[in-house]
């Protein structure tokens, strides 16, 4: 008997050798580890923008319009239109609980009063035979700047894939196009137009003012078109 065997037999309570083999596969956890998720805390005071970069304007009932990403998506703002005899502004833009902006038309004039909170400005054609509608905007720092909605069939309007002609909003001081809108490219029962915001660094109040100006021009063209249809119908019945 060798020394190793003698030592093993002489120590009655020797420690057992640990089992270093892995557990059977059935004993191991078969659930995959949870995916890594990195939290991005929302900055204090952050508020998401009111408008997406591109959205549509749709009819949603008598004297009601809605703003939504698509025809079948949920509207994020609503628009009421009123006649001049109602005592209310011609157009009221709201989020369902509060008024964001109004537009008030003037009969026998191209003048439109735009109001966003306590800010007010006038949008009016700068000539009888021109399709330019300038307005002066006052920035938060008190500086003043003139913007103008101009009839166009340029790249900004064409990118909306609607009617051939539309309007673009231009910074008069440098010619930068900051927004655009157009009507549908063909007959549509419920779609009124499409609006794009191409500059997102001018503030929320400016965006509401720009969109309200676009909606006012869209509504004026819609009324003109409807009045033309009504006049044509009346002539047809009279003959």
How far apart CA 76 and CA 69 sit, in angstroms, is 8
User: 155 CB contacts (<8 Å, ≥6 apart)?
Assistant: none
More confident residue, 71 or 170: 170
CB 183 within 8 A of CB 218: yes
Q: What is the pTM of this model?
A: 0.76
pLDDT at 6 over 60: no
- Among 185, 181, 192, 182, residue whose Cα is nearest residue 226: 192
pLDDT at 11 over 50: no
pLDDT-wise least confident of 19-23, 140-144, 200-204, 210-214: 19-23
More confident residue, 56 or 60: 56
% the chain with pLDDT above 70: 75
Question: Which segment, 63-67, 82-86, 223-227, is predicted with the most confidence on average?
Answer: 63-67
3-state secondary structure (DSSP) of residue 164:
coil
């Amino acid at each position: 008997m060798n020394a190793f065997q003698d030592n093993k037999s002489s120590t009655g309570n020797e420690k057992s050798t640990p089992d270093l083999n892995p557990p059977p596969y059935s004993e191991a956890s078969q659930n995959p580890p949870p995916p890594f998720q990195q939290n991005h805390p929302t900055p204090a005071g952050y508020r998401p923008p009111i408008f997406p970069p591109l959205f549509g304007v749709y009819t949603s009932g008598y004297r009601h319009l809605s703003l939504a990403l698509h025809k079948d998506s949920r509207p994020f703002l609503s628009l009421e239109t009123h006649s001049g005899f109602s005592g209310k502004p011609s157009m009221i833009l709201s989020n369902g609980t509060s008024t964001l902006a109004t537009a008030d038309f003037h009969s026998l004039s191209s003048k439109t009063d735009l109001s966003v909170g306590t800010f007010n400005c006038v949008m009016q054609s700068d000539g009888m035979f021109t399709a330019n509608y300038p307005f002066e905007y006052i920035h938060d720092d008190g500086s003043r700047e003139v913007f103008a909605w101009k009839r166009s069939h340029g790249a900004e309007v064409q990118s909306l894939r609607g009617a051939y002609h539309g309007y673009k909003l231009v910074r008069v001081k440098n010619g930068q196009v900051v927004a655009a809108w157009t009507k549908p490219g063909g007959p549509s029962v419920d779609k009124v137009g499409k609006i794009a915001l191409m500059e997102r660094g001018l503030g929320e109040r400016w965006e509401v003012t720009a969109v309200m100006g676009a909606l006012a021009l869209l509504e004026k063209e819609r009324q003109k078109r409807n009045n033309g249809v009504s006049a044509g119908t009346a002539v047809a019945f009279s003959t």
